[in-house]
Structure 1
Amino acid sequence: MRLPDLARASEIGARFGTRASIAFVVNTDRFFLTHRASWARAISAAGGSVTVIAADTGFADRIRELGFEFIPVEMGRESVSPLRASQVAWRLFQTLNKGAYDTVFLVATAAYTLGWFASLTMPSTRFIRVITGAGRALDGRSTLASLIVGSQLRFSARRRNVYSIFQLEQDLDRFLTRKMAVEPRSSVIPGTGIDTRLWNPAPAQRDPSRPQILFASRLFAEKGIGTYLAVARALADKAEFLVAGAPDLGVSTSVRPEDIAEWTGVVTYLGQSDDMLGLLQSADVLLFPSTHPEGTPRVLIEAAACGVAIVANDQPGSRAVVGDSAIFIDGVDEDDWIRATHEVLEHRELRHSLGRSARQYVVEHFDLAQTLTSVLEIAGVPLARKAPQ
C-alpha cells in the first residue's frame, strides 16, 4: 500500500520531542494506514512509541513494518449485539490499562463508544475522541445503536481526561447541544491533512479523448453508489466510469459481492485501491453522491489536491473541503446528477477551472503541517517543541 504522506510527517514530527507512549484505537488496520498513519509517524519521529489497536484485516504486518506495535481487537460494526459490544469494551479496557499509555486516540464511532471506559481507571492518560462525522449511529434515527452511542458520548464527555477532535464546526455544535462534548476540551481540525507537495495534478496521465469518472468509497447505499451507476449507464458513451472500493459488510445497506458482477459493461470495478495518488492523478472527475453523515471526506481532500473536478452532494463536509470549487447537487435526483456530470464532460475548461481552484483551497486549509501541528499540541502529553536545528 502506497502511503505518500509519511515522509512529510516524519519531517514535521522531528520538530517535536516526546517520550510518550501513545495508542490509536481504530476500527480496522487498513483504515489506520489510510487515515492515521501520518499522525502516528509524526509521533514516532518526535521520539514517542506508537501502538495500534484494531481489527486485523490483513494489514497488521504492514503496520509493524512501520515500527508500530499492533494489537488485534475486532471492534464490530452497526449490527454488533449488546453482548458482543460489552465484550469488546472489556477487551479494550484491559488492553489500554495494561499498556499504561500517556495518550489514547479513539478514532471513529466504535472506538470512542467502547474505548472510553479505560479513562475511569487511567486518570492521568489523555483520551482523545476523534469524531469524523455524525455517522450512521447518530444520523437521527432512534435505534438501539444510536441510543447506546449517545449515552456513552454523554458519559465520556464528563471525564476531565477525555478530549474531542471534530472535523466540522456543525458537528461540534451538535455535540455541545446534546451534552456529548464540553467546549473547553473540544477542538476542530478539518481533516487528517495531506502532503500537498505530493498530492498534486499530473496532467500528462490524463487522456482528454476519454475522460475518467471515478467513484471511490466504501460500497453501501448511503455512499451513493446507486446514483453513480445511474450516471454511468446514461453517459457510458462519453467517458470511462471507474469504481474503487469494497463492500462494507458490517453495514446493513452494503453492496453484496454478487451485485458487483452485474456492473460488467457499465463500470470498471477496481476493488480497493492501494494507490489512491496514482488513481486520482489519472482521473478527470470525481463523483461524490454520498448522503452519509460525513465529516471532511479524505477522498475529496485528495482529489482536490490532485486537481480533479468534483461533483458532490451538497453537504457541510463537502463544502468544508473545497469551498465553492465544485459542482454541488442538492439531493439524489438522478437526472440532476446526470446533467451535472454531462456538463463537466462537455466543457473541458470547466473541469480544469474547478480542479485548479479546489487544489488551491485544499493547499490553504488541509496541508499536513497545519494538521499535525494542531494534533500534536492537542495530544499534549508531553509533546514539547524542540529547538530548531
Structure 2
Amino acid sequence: MRIVLFANTDWFLYNFKLPLARALRARGDELILLSPPGEYGPRLRELGFRWEALPVSRSGINPLAELATIARVRRLYATLQPDLVHHFTIKCVIYGSLAARLAGVRRVVNSVTGLGFALLANTLKARLIRPVVLSLYRLALRGTAVIFQNADNRDTLARYGVLARSEVFVVPGDGIDAEQFAPQAAADDAPRVLMMARLLQSKGVAEFVAAAAQVRAAWPQAEFQLAGSPDPGNPESIDEASLQRWANEGHVQFLGHRSDVLALNQACSIAVLASTQGEGIPRALLEAAACAKALVATDVPGCRDLVIDGETGVLVPPGDAAALAAAIARLLGDASLRARLGAAARARVLARYADGPIIEQTLAVYAGGRQ
C-alpha cells in the first residue's frame, strides 16, 4: 500500500513513529511522512524515508488561513493518491480527515492521543471552544478508524456522541524500544526524583515543586529534577515569573528541554508525573517504567493504565501535593519496594507497551481488524 503518516511536528515522527515506519517499509509498503518543516525532517530523509514538509500552524485560528491549509492537504492527497492515511494530533486529525474525504482516500486512521485543553480544562476559554472542537471532531471522525490510547478517552468522546459513525480501537500508546530503554546501574546512589513534562499547569508542575519542598525538609540530600520546557502557544503554559521563583527556591532543578532522556531515566530513583488532567499513555512514565524505575503518578486517565497502585507504582489524587510528597518519601525510604515496583513496571511495558505489540495492533487497524 501507499501510506501517509501526518503529524504536527517532524520531531514527533522521528521520536515516536520510526519503529512503525520501519515496519511498514520492511513489509514493502510505500511510505510518505508529512509534517511542518523542522530539523528532524532531514534526519528522516537520511534514514531513507520520504519526508515532505507541509506547513500547518499549531495555534492559528484565522478561518481563511485554516481553510487554505485544508485545501493544501487535499491537493497533496489528491496528488499522492494514498491507499491509507494516518493522522496524529488534533489539527492533523481534523484537517487531514476533511482533506482525505475530499480527495477520496479509501481508508483514514486517526490517533487521538489525548483529549487536550478544550475537552479537559474547566476554564471559561475551554468551555467556550469545547462545542466547536466537538463539532469538528464529529465531522472529521465520521467514517474513519479512530485509535485511542486508553479506554477513558474513548468513553469520554463516545459520551459526547462523536464516535457513532466511526470504527473505534484502543491501542495503548505509541510503543517504546524496550531494548534501548532498559535498566542500567546508576553511576551513583543519590536519591533522585525525576519528572519529565511540558511546563503546563495541567502537568502538575506546581504540585511537584510543593512536594519537593516537603520531601526535602526530611530528605535534604534528595534531588528533584524537572525536564521540560514552556509551551507559549498553550493557554496553560506557566508564566516565566513563577518558573523563576521556583528555581530560586532551590528545591527543584529545572533542566529545560533535554535530549538525553534515557540517561536521565536510568540515573533517577523515582519517576513522577503529577498531571491534574488525563493523558493518553504518558511517554515520560513509559520510558521510566521500561528502565525499571518505580513510578509515582496521579490517578487520572492514562497514568492509571500504566501505574497499577501497589504493583507497578503508587497512585495519588491529582492536585494533592501532600499525598505526592508522602508517596515519594515512602519510596525514597524503601529501596526494596522501589526495586519490586520497578521490575513489575518493566514487565508490564514488555507485555503491553513495547514496539512489537503496539505495531502489531496498529497494522490490524490498518487492515480493518476489530478489537
- Structure 1 residue 292 and structure 2 residue 277: aligned? yes
- Structure 1 residue 126 and structure 2 residue 113: aligned? no
- Matched position secondary structure for 1:63: helix
The question of whether the paired residues in 1 share the 8 Å contact of 2:70 and 2:99 is answered with no
Structure 1 residues 164, 33: closer, same or farther in 2, change over 3 A? same
The question of whether the paired residues in 1 share the 8 Å contact of 2:178 and 2:354 is answered with yes
1:63 to 44, 48, 56: 44
Structure 1 residues 182, 80: closer, same or farther in 2, change over 3 A? same
Q: CA separation in 1, counterparts of 2:277 and 2:89?
A: 14
* Superposition misfits of 4+ residues, deviation over 6 angstroms: none
Counterpart for residue 17 of structure 1: none
Q: CA separation in 1, counterparts of 2:145 and 2:85?
A: 10
- Structure 1 residue 247 and structure 2 residue 230: aligned? yes
1:219 to 196, 199, 209: 199
Counterpart for residue 167 of structure 2: 185
Structure 1 residues 96, 368: closer, same or farther in 2, change over 3 A? same
The question of whether the paired residues in 2 share the 8 Å contact of 1:323 and 1:361 is answered with no
- Matched position secondary structure for 1:303: helix
User: What's the CA shift for 1:297?
Assistant: 0.9
| Structure 2 length-normalised TM | 0.89
User: What's the CA shift for 1:32?
Assistant: 1.9
Cα deviation per residue 1:73-118 (whole Å; 9 max; x = unaligned)? 3433456343443232222222222222121111121111221112
2:155 to 173, 187, 195: 173
Identify the range of structure 1 (96-105 vs 213-222) with the bigger mean alpha-carbon deviation.
96-105
- Matched position secondary structure for 2:35: strand
The question of whether the paired residues in 1 share the 8 Å contact of 2:194 and 2:224 is answered with yes
1:335 to 291, 300, 322: 322
What code does the residue aligned with 2:102 have? T
Q: CA separation in 2, counterparts of 1:30 and 1:259?
A: 28
Q: CA separation in 2, counterparts of 1:182 and 1:42?
A: 31
- Matched position secondary structure for 1:56: coil
Percentage of matched positions with identical amino acids: 29
User: What's the CA shift for 1:261?
Assistant: 4.4
Cα deviation per residue 1:310-355 (whole Å; 9 max; x = unaligned)? 1101013112113232111112122222222111112222211211
Q: CA separation in 1, counterparts of 2:8 and 2:205?
A: 22
Structure 1 residues 146, 229: closer, same or farther in 2, change over 3 A? same
- Matched position secondary structure for 1:105: strand
Counterpart for residue 231 of structure 1: 211
Q: CA separation in 2, counterparts of 1:124 and 1:284?
A: 48
Report how many residues are paired.
Answer: 359
- Structure 1 residue 377 and structure 2 residue 361: aligned? no
Cα deviation per residue 1:216-256 (whole Å; 9 max; x = unaligned)? 11111111111112223333413112121121121012134
* Bigger RCO of structures 1 and 2 (CA < 8 A, at least 6 apart): 1
- Matched position secondary structure for 1:286: strand
Q: CA separation in 2, counterparts of 1:374 and 1:178?
A: 26
Cα deviation per residue 1:297-320 (whole Å; 9 max; x = unaligned)? 122111111111111010131121
- Matched position secondary structure for 2:8: strand
Q: CA separation in 1, counterparts of 2:33 and 2:51?
A: 5
Counterpart for residue 151 of structure 1: 135
Unaligned runs of 5+ in 2: none
User: What's the CA shift for 1:257?
Assistant: 5.4
Identify the range of structure 1 (136-145 vs 50-59) with the bigger mean alpha-carbon deviation.
136-145
2:256 to 271, 275, 278: 271
| Structure 1 length-normalised TM | 0.85
Counterpart for residue 43 of structure 1: 24
Unaligned runs of 5+ in 1: 1-19, 384-389
